[in-house]
């Protein structure tokens, strides 16, 4: 059945829709790629395909509301007061959501004789523009990345709307995967020409620099740094997208964003996407954030500190001075445990000022965001005091001193926030109890009126009794007439005939109702009391909102200082956390040099060692590694499961930690600065891209051989194992020679090709090492220790046994192995190292002289005597080639 005959396949239009649904169609047509949250009273409702998709994603009931153009209308909804939790689930599933709010009350719509309450889309919620705590991961930034082509290169700009961070970089097209792996952006903007899967397609502005300057109110970007045309265009793209998604009043102005910082890609450790994936820096190869380097070393106590740590590990430095400054800060806090404990106690539970300020700037704040600024600045002041008067340090290192100064902003709204905000704050701006008693006299009066209606009634009753001269007067509330004064019949008759002199003005009596046992009156004062009591709660709420917005303005005017203080708190938290990690034992300050040194004593894998300790497993076996000049290449052999991959990754991770500014898990470490880090460990394929495991391996190996240099560190595992044996051996052989002779980088080269150990005697800077194994009573014990020399055997059958291969299969494999080894005896010395492979074909350059002579003969042209002489000559060649022959 096609669309023309299948009612379920028809696409509805606005024709014949009710006024409210006509609004829905109009708003949906403006946002076709987003689920429309359509405000209907106390609910956000979704219709048609939106409802079907949302009901499935949120696991809520799908119902139907009437018919439209002969079709039942699918509908689902979520409560408006708790919509954020549903919104979070949709955003995490990759949906974009347009929020359509009611812009007037039903009464206002009636007064203007409108058929439906006016609604507008006030915000487009996307993964890269969220700011709510429920939608964000506290310890990770939510980067919005924009990409703009620029004459064969790319301009990139990324911002975090929740904190205001904004950076740019110009890069080669081939470096894009590395940038994506480093940032892990929540959302990517790119033009269609880039054909980037999952990206939001947007146009590229031609006048990016001018528009970016206008956004920040400057005539030129020169004061911000040097930007390429592509960087400026990408930054303008990101700003345009942010403004478009915010929609409301705040969206028309520039959100709280710091000035864009051009990173330039210089002075940082370069790592490609494959290396980041292999080393599991920010997440494991399975995709979780539990079994990665970040989780293993994170001792921060604030969300901002955790985000900064992730940024530092994802983008380590490659310049000695700033790295040394970070190490100095860690060393200072390590040397003064009392100061460190005091700082961490003050930091623990500190609010996230950066994200609170972001919500305040977007006018999407709650009372707790104001409290976050108040409490955060209070914590900052106490930490600044601790750093200004350290007891255990002769002097504070420059980085800590600079942070301490930033903790005291020149414009500090904290004192007024402290006076203004109540101790216990409500969750929403619409709820009462934001402002502390005594801060605002008008609000206090409204609250007294709202909260003490009985006292106000009693006071007015006394005033009326005195003015009217009737002591028995009672003020009561009537459902229809409001507050009225009830008098007994006799005094009421006197009041009507001869009112007292004081019964004038607001107290002038107005007869309302006569009953059998009394008479009811009103007056201007009673009417005003009735009006004040009914409106007191609303007036108090409006007054509190006015005060809250005043406090918001104070925070925004002090935004630069608050931002600097928030960054300083994160910086101090990170250094204190690194010192705390080091104080746990077995970590040291790395010595960084400009030479090509690499000497680790008793190094440990930070993630594996932490996992063993956490699970109370065996102690991690530390290992040395020396790749210093003269022994730049370690050729590592040994069986699987003996720890080769762990050793490879651990030494690469020590570089990441050291150049990120942390200490390292080792007894000592002397490291020459690394400019590029490459890790090809483990097998993976790219089925979506049509690349086999071996093709991926070769592409990654090619990148290493093309890009690595003398200051690089390379860790390679099992190059060439994904193809035919001799092909793989040839590739591994040539790659090892290239790393030694041409690239001249520090390298750990793990292999099962034992023939490669022959190169240790030919390439002077290749040093053989092996994973130590011990055989005990027929069982194999992997010692997980690295020692000099080469592996004696592969131990493959033992590993197969450990993996649970059936005994019959193992027995047959042993027979086949024995047979192959028997056949392999007598092969040339190169193959003796691993006698499981067939003899390679003889190359022409290595041919035997007898073969050359035989090839030169033409049998058809030889006489019998010439043929006999040729045979004698061939025999002499063969006999002469045999030693002792």
Residue 250 confidence (pLDDT): 44
Q: CA of 120: how far to CAs of 17, 250, 297, in Å? A: 18, 15, 47
Could you give the CA distance from residue 321 to residue 154 in angstroms, rounded to a whole number? Answer: 29
Residue 415 confidence (pLDDT): 96
pLDDT tens by residue, 126-184: 999 998 888 898 999 999 999 999 998 999 999 999 999 999 999 999 999 999 999 99
Residue 315 confidence (pLDDT): 94
Q: Averaged over 635-660, what is the pLDDT? A: 92
Which residue did the predictor score with more confidence, 450 or 254?
450
Rg (alpha carbons) of the chain, rounded to whole number: 39
Domain residue spans in the chain?
7-125, 133-266, 299-412+560-583, 443-544, 591-794, 805-841, 847-881
Q: What is the mean pLDDT of the chain?
A: 87
Could you give the CA distance from residue 625 to residue 645 in angstroms, rounded to a whole number? Answer: 14
Order the strands of the 668-672 sheet from edge to edge: 591-593, 668-672, 598-603, 623-626
pLDDT tens by residue, 578-592: 999 999 888 999 999
Band (pLDDT 50/70/90 cuts) for residue 48 is very high
Could you give the CA distance from residue 656 to residue 664 in angstroms, rounded to a whole number? Answer: 9
Q: Is the pLDDT of residue 749 over 90?
A: yes
Q: Is the pLDDT of residue 885 over 70?
A: no
Residue 842 confidence (pLDDT): 44
219 touches 128 (CB < 8 A): no
299-412+560-583 and 443-544 in the same fold: yes
Band (pLDDT 50/70/90 cuts) for residue 7 is very low
Within 8 A by CB and 6+ apart from 200, the residues are 126, 187, 188, 189, 190, 241
Residue 776 confidence (pLDDT): 73
- Coil, strand, or helix at residue 24? helix
Q: Which of 155-164, 204-213, 725-734 has the lowest mean pLDDT?
A: 725-734
Residue 834 confidence (pLDDT): 40
The count of residues in the chain is: 885
Which residue did the predictor score with more confidence, 776 or 476?
476
Which residue did the predictor score with more confidence, 796 or 131?
131
pLDDT tens by residue, 655-680: 999 999 999 999 999 999 999 999 99
787 touches 772 (CB < 8 A): yes
Band (pLDDT 50/70/90 cuts) for residue 882 is very low
Out of 3.40.50.300, 1.10.10.1100, 3.30.450.20, 3.40.50.920, select the CATH number for domain 591-794: 3.40.50.300
Q: Which of 10-19, 153-162, 618-627, 761-770 has the lowest mean pLDDT?
A: 10-19
Q: What is the CATH number of domain 299-412+560-583?
A: 1.10.1420.10
Out of 3.40.1170.10, 3.90.78.10, 3.50.50.60, 3.40.1110.10, select the CATH number for domain 7-125: 3.40.1170.10
Q: Is the pLDDT of residue 23 over 70?
A: yes
Q: Which of 32-36, 261-265, 663-667, 826-830 has the lowest mean pLDDT?
A: 826-830
Could you give the CA distance from residue 216 to residue 222 in angstroms, rounded to a whole number? Answer: 12
| Rounded percentage of the chain residues whose pLDDT exceeds 90 | 59
Q: Averaged over 445-456, what is the pLDDT? A: 83
Q: Is the pLDDT of residue 820 over 70?
A: no
pLDDT tens by residue, 485-532: 999 999 999 998 888 988 889 999 999 999 989 999 999 999 988 888
Could you give the CA distance from residue 540 to residue 444 in angstroms, rounded to a whole number? Answer: 8
Band (pLDDT 50/70/90 cuts) for residue 693 is confident
Residue 286 confidence (pLDDT): 84
Residue 740 confidence (pLDDT): 93
Residue 209 confidence (pLDDT): 92
Residue 753 confidence (pLDDT): 83
Q: Among 12-26, 255-269, 318-332, 849-863, which range has the highest average pLDDT?
A: 318-332
Q: Averaged over 594-612, what is the pLDDT? A: 95
Q: What is the CATH number of domain 443-544?
A: 1.10.1420.10
Residue 697 confidence (pLDDT): 83
Residue 266 confidence (pLDDT): 73
527 touches 533 (CB < 8 A): no
Residue 551 confidence (pLDDT): 97
Could you give the CA distance from residue 471 to residue 460 in angstroms, rounded to a whole number? Answer: 13
Fold of 133-266: Nucleotidyltransferase; domain 5 (3.30.420)
Order the strands of the 187-190 sheet from edge to edge: 200-201, 187-190, 144-150, 153-160, 165-172, 261-262
- Greatest pairwise CA separation for the chain in angstroms: 167
Residue 251 confidence (pLDDT): 43
Count Cα neighbours of 514 within 13 Å in the Cβ-side half-sphere: 7
């Amino acid at each position: 059945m096609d669309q023309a005959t299948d009612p379920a396949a028809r696409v509805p239009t606005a024709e014949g829709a009710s006024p409210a649904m006509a609004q829905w169609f109009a708003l949906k047509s403006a946002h076709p790629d987003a689920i429309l949250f359509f405000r209907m009273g106390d609910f956000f409702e979704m219709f048609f395909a939106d409802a079907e998709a949302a009901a499935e994603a949120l696991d809520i009931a799908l119902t139907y509301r009437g018919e439209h153009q002969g079709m039942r209308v699918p509908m689902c909804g979520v409560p408006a007061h708790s919509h954020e939790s549903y919104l979070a689930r949709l955003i995490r599933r990759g949906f974009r959501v347009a929020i359509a709010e009611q812009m007037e009350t039903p009464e206002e719509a009636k007064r203007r004789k409108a058929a439906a309450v006016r609604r507008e889309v006030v915000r487009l919620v996307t993964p890269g523009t969220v700011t709510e705590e429920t939608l964000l991961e506290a310890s990770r930034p939510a980067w919005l990345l924009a990409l703009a082509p620029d004459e064969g290169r790319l301009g990139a700009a990324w911002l975090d709307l929740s904190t205001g961070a904004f950076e740019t970089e110009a890069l080669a097209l081939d470096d894009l995967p590395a940038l994506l792996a480093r940032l892990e952006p929540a959302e990517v903007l790119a033009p269609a020409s880039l054909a980037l899967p999952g990206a939001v397609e947007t146009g590229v502005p031609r006048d990016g620099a001018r528009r970016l300057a206008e956004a920040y109110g400057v005539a030129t970007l020169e004061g911000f740094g040097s930007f390429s045309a592509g960087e400026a265009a990408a930054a303008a793209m990101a700003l345009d997208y942010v403004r478009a998604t915010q929609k409301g009043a705040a969206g028309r102005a520039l959100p709280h964003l710091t000035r864009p910082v051009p990173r330039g890609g210089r002075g940082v450790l370069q790592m490609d996407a494959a290396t980041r994936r292999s080393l599991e820096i920010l997440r494991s190869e399975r995709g979780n954030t539990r079994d990665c380097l970040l989780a293993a070393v994170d001792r921060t106590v604030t969300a901002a500190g955790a985000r900064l740590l992730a940024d530092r590990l994802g983008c380590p430095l490659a310049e000695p001075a700033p790295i040394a400054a970070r190490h100095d800060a860690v060393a200072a806090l390590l040397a003064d445990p009392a100061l460190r404990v005091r700082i961490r106690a003050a930091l623990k539970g500190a609010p996230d000022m950066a994200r609170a300020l972001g919500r305040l700037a977007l006018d999407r704040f709650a009372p707790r965001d104001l409290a976050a600024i108040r409490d955060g600045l209070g914590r900052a002041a106490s930490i600044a005091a601790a750093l200004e008067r350290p007891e255990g340090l002769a002097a504070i290192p420059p980085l800590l001193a600079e942070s301490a100064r930033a903790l005291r902003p020149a414009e500090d709204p904290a004192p007024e926030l402290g006076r203004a905000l109540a101790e216990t704050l409500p969750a929403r701006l619409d709820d009462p109890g934001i402002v502390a008693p005594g801060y605002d006299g008008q609000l206090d009066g409204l609250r007294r009126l709202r909260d003490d209606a009985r006292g106000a009634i009693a006071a007015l009753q006394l005033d009326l009794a005195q003015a009217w001269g009737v002591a028995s007067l009672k003020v009561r509330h009537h459902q229809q007439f409001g507050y009225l004064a009830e008098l007994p019949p006799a005094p009421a008759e006197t009041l009507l005939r001869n009112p007292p002199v004081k019964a004038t003005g607001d107290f002038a009596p107005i007869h309302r109702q006569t009953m059998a046992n009394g008479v009811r009156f009103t007056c201007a004062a009673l009417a005003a009391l009735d009006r004040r009591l009914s409106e007191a709660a609303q007036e108090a709420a409006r007054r509190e909102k006015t005060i809250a917005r005043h406090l918001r303005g104070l925070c925004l005017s002090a935004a630069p200082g608050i931002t600097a203080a928030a960054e300083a708190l994160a910086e101090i938290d990170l250094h204190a956390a690194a010192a705390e990690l080091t104080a746990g034992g077995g970590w040291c300050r790395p010595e960084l040099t400009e030479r090509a040194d690499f000497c680790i004593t008793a190094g440990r894998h930070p993630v594996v060692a932490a996992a063993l300790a956490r699970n109370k497993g065996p102690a991690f076996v530390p290992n040395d590694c020396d790749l210093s000049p003269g022994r730049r290449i370690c050729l590592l052999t040994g069986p699987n499961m003996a720890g080769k991959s762990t050793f490879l990754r651990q030494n690469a991770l020590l570089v990441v930690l050291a150049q990120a500014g942390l200490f390292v898990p080792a007894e000592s470490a002397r490291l020459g600065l690394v400019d590029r880090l490459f890790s090809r460990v483990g097998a993976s394929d790219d089925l979506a891209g049509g690349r086999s495991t071996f093709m991926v391996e070769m592409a990654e190996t090619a990148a290493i051989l093309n890009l690595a240099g003398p200051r690089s560190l390379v860790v390679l595992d099992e190059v060439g194992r994904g193809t035919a044996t001799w092909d793989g051996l040839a590739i591994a052989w040539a790659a090892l020679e290239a790393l030694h002779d041409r690239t001249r980088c520090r390298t750990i080269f793990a292999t099962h090709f034992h023939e490669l150990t022959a190169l240790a005697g030919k390439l002077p800077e290749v040093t053989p090492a092996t994973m130590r194994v011990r055989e005990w009573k027929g069982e194999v014990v992997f010692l997980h220790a690295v020692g000099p020399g080469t592996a004696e055997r592969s131990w493959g059958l033992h590993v197969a046994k450990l993996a649970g291969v059936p005994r019959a299969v193992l027995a047959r494999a042993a027979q086949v192995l024995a047979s192959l080894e028997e056949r392999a005896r007598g092969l040339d010395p190169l193959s003796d190292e691993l006698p499981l492979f067939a003899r390679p074909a003889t190359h022409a350059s290595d041919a035997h002289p007898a073969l050359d002579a035989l090839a030169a003969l033409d049998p058809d042209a030889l006489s019998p005597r010439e043929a006999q002489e040729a045979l004698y000559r061939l025999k002499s060649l063969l006999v002469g080639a045999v030693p002792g022959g």
